[in-house]
């Protein structure tokens, strides 16, 4: 579906603010902020955020395709995004992700770092609110979609919080962790609710679960063969405050994100090439890439490689380059 409405931007501050805020609930934010937290702030915080994010997003995506509530009609609203327009609306997964990431980060850091409780709470609230409002501004969700997404995410956070330490300990120490981290997400992806038409929700869900699976295997491997991760303090430096530390933080991020993006590009090319050879289709065939037998392995292998690279290979490269 294409947007046939023309519009005039009358307030560029709101326009760019909410376009930017909408991007905080998309892949470009996940692939930068979550690894940045792991490389530069705290391993335990990053692990908890990834666990919460993957669970919340899976439930949100599946709920959309079970409830099948339509997005706002256009007209009267003007839709500023087209990629997700084929998805259903309720709940808003942008609202769910923003609530989950901001408040899980706040909850995981408030007892480990010294900063005003009120400041952290306000920052989490402002972050999630901006993303929620961006979904209304861009015409992609109703108020009910956004409120529903934020509430569902909040409830899931409350339910998961008492089990955080137990889940984290099992993911780091259980010998069955690598097996279940791969098999369970793959099972969920291949058994995703079927729709009468193609929607990007299955592909996005596979991307999220694949990245979380690769990262989880990386967490386990690091704990078994590298520096122990199950400690009260991170093996990374604390929040950067000095200029010299800031330089190392920036260097770690730039090196890491370059390796992650190269991994994504290389694995996407290799996996699509192999699947294209297996199922006899050219790499540019979009319809073929949307088939279950292609989309799930292509996205799962690609993004599990990204998650594994971010948690295992990039830290090793940081050590080799003297950036630790």
Catalytic positions, written as ranges: 94, 141
Q: Which of 221, 218, 308 is nearest to 263 (CA)?
A: 308
Check: CB of residue 153 under 8 Å from CB of residue 53.
no
What's the sign of the alpha-carbon dihedral 191, 270, 260, 130?
negative
Check: CB of residue 260 under 8 Å from CB of residue 306.
yes
User: What contacts 121, CB < 8 A, 6 or more positions away?
Assistant: 106
Helix count (H) and strand count (E) of the chain? 13, 0
Rounded Cα–Cα distance for residues 6 and 244 (Å): 49
Rounded Cα–Cα distance for residues 30 and 175 (Å): 28
Q: Which of 24, 54, 148 is nearest to 92 (CA)?
A: 148
Largest CA distance in the chain: 58
Rounded Cα–Cα distance for residues 113 and 125 (Å): 19
């Amino acid at each position: 579906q294409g947007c046939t409405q023309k519009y005039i931007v009358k307030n560029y501050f709101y326009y760019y603010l909410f376009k930017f805020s909408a991007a905080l609930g998309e892949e470009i934010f996940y692939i930068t902020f979550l690894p940045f937290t792991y490389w530069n702030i705290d391993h335990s915080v990053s692990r908890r955020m990834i666990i919460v994010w993957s669970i919340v997003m899976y439930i949100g995506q599946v709920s959309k395709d079970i409830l099948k509530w339509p997005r706002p009609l256009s007209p009267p609203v003007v839709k500023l995004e087209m990629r997700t327009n084929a998805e259903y609306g309720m709940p808003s997964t942008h609202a769910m992700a923003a609530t989950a990431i901001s408040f899980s980060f706040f909850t995981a850091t408030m007892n480990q770092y010294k900063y005003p409780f009120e400041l952290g709470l306000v920052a989490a609230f402002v972050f999630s609110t901006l993303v929620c409002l961006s979904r209304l501004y861009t015409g992609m969700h109703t108020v009910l979609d956004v409120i529903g997404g934020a509430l569902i995410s909040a409830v899931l956070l409350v339910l998961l919080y008492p089990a955080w330490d137990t889940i984290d300990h099992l993911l780091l120490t259980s010998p069955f962790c690598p097996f279940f981290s791969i098999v369970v997400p793959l099972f969920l992806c291949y058994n995703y609710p079927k729709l009468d038409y193609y929607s990007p929700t299955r592909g996005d869900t596979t991307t999220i679960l694949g990245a979380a699976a690769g990262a989880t295997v990386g967490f386990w491997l690091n704990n078994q063969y590298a520096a122990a991760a199950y400690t009260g303090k991170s093996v990374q430096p604390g929040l950067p405050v000095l200029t010299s530390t800031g330089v190392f933080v920036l260097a770690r991020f730039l090196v890491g994100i370059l390796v992650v993006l190269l991994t994504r590009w290389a694995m996407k090319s290799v996996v699509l090439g192999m699947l294209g050879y297996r199922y006899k289709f050219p790499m540019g065939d979009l319809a073929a890439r949307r088939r279950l037998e292609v989309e799930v392995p292509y996205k799962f292998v690609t993004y599990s490689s990204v998650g594994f690279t971010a948690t295992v290979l990039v830290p090793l490269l940081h050590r080799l380059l003297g950036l630790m």
